[in-house]
Amino acid sequence: MGYELRMERPAPLTFAELATVLGQAGFEFRGSQESGEVLGRHGDGVHAIAVWNGNLSGTPASDWQVAQLARMAALLSARLVGEDGESYALRDGMVEQLNGSTAYEFGKLDEILAAGPALWSR
């Protein structure tokens, strides 16, 4: 089991809103309005990014998945929050992890997305 990141918003996310944003951003969805999986393409492959069950969350195993989750959160006007209270965001084309007043840059969004979903080594 990995580390979960979840979307948080003041107003609940509806499936209709999720489906609209995912379609506009090029994500795929497999499942039903009650539960399913958000997928992203890289090259010829399709990769899991998030799970929908009335809430949206993901368990990333690569910078690419974190970047996709951060991009999705921005498109949904949501915050991407980790289990320890840190948040992840896009700022000036960079993917950042924010913890209090400290910011850690993962890297440039376009470079991370181009590199693809190479798994983190353990």
Note the pLDDT of residue 106. Answer: 83
Closest to 16 measured CA to CA, from 1, 29, 2:
29
For 50-79, what is each residue's pLDDT tens digit? Answer: 999 999 999 999 999 999 999 999 999 999
**120 in a structural domain:** no
Q: Is the pLDDT of residue 118 over 90?
A: no
**102 in a structural domain:** yes
Q: What is the pTM of this model?
A: 0.92
Host domain of residue 96:
5-115
Note the pLDDT of residue 1. Answer: 44
| Secondary structure class of 17 (helix, strand, coil) | helix
For 16-35, what is each residue's pLDDT tens digit? Answer: 999 999 998 899 999 999 99
**68 in a structural domain:** yes
* Structural domains of the chain, count: 1
Tell whether the torsion through CA atoms of 91, 94, 98 and 102 is positive or negative.
negative
Note the pLDDT of residue 3. Answer: 87
